[in-house]
Amino acid sequence: MKSHRRLADKRILVTGGSRGLGRSLCKTFASQGANIAFTYVRDDRAAESLRTECERLGVAAIMSKTPSTDFDAMESLAERIESDWGGIDVLVNNAGITQMFPLAMIDEEDWDQVMDVNVKGVFLTTKAVLPGMIRRRSGVILNIGSLAGARMLSAPVHYCTSKAAVKGFTQSMAKELSRHQIRVLCLAPGLLDDGMGTNVPETGLAEYLHHCSLGRVGTLEEAAELAAFMVSDANSYMNGETIILDGGV
């Protein structure tokens, strides 16, 4: 199978797909032949333009204004995709938020908001999609983590904690779901050239670049290309792993 058609006819759901890394994931998957469903929560215009871009690549596309923290809505979306496309082959739990606060400035509400989106949203979305995968005894779940959840970095403590939880969720679910032939993986990028990486203050960026052996941030396209390989059949023997993409920090 040629790499540019590596995901031909796959049915992929990406949460938080309208901007940043999620958008790049959708476009890369579509360019490799996958039908794309994606969620978003705010920007209707960006979502509509992404759907159009995917359809121009010759694949089907579904957009849904659905928060990952709303289980009923996510379950309804999963059922719609199951009905329209016959199933979901790949789930990418990408939706996430951060807040650039030190611990002393983090209120309980801030902590809860980050944990709800970054951890509870992953749990609820996975729970909504799993029944179809289990019935078919096949599927791949890719959770988008972060270098901040795997290494000691100067980053907001609630964000680091949430992404460490995603890593643990990946390992536990990979073990539990292996009997159903469902693989669960985690991609943990370092700083990228768009998305959440743009919120890092200049001092933090300088520190990152100082320790990065390649001396630069990564690109959204580099992360998306790696994600496409990770969820493809060409990567069928990887399970439970967190792959770090950080330029060598």
**Distance between CA 9 and CA 36 in Å, rounded?**
10
What is the edge-to-edge ordering of all strands in the sheet holding 182-189? 61-65, 35-40, 11-14, 90-93, 139-144, 182-189, 242-245
Using alpha carbons, list the distances in angstroms from residue 5 to 31, 90, 143, 183, 219: 8, 16, 22, 21, 21
As given in the structure block, the two tokens for residue 162 are: 């949430």
Q: What are phi and psi of 171, to 5 degrees?
A: -65, -45
- The candidate with the shortest Cα–Cα distance to 189, out of 171, 169, 207, 163, is 163
**In terms of Cα–Cα distance, which of 235, 219, 234 is closest to 20?**
219
Task: State which amino acid sits at residue 89.
Answer: D
Residue that is written with structure tokens 């599927």 in the block: 139
Out of 40, 159, 208, 237, which one is annotated catalytic? Answer: 159
Q: Does residue 159 carry a catalytic annotation? A: yes
Q: Residue by residue, what is the 3-state secondary structure of 107-153?
A: CHHHHHHHHHHHHHHHHHHHHHHHHHHHHHCCEEEEEECCHHHCCCC
What amino acid positions are annotated as catalytic residues? 159
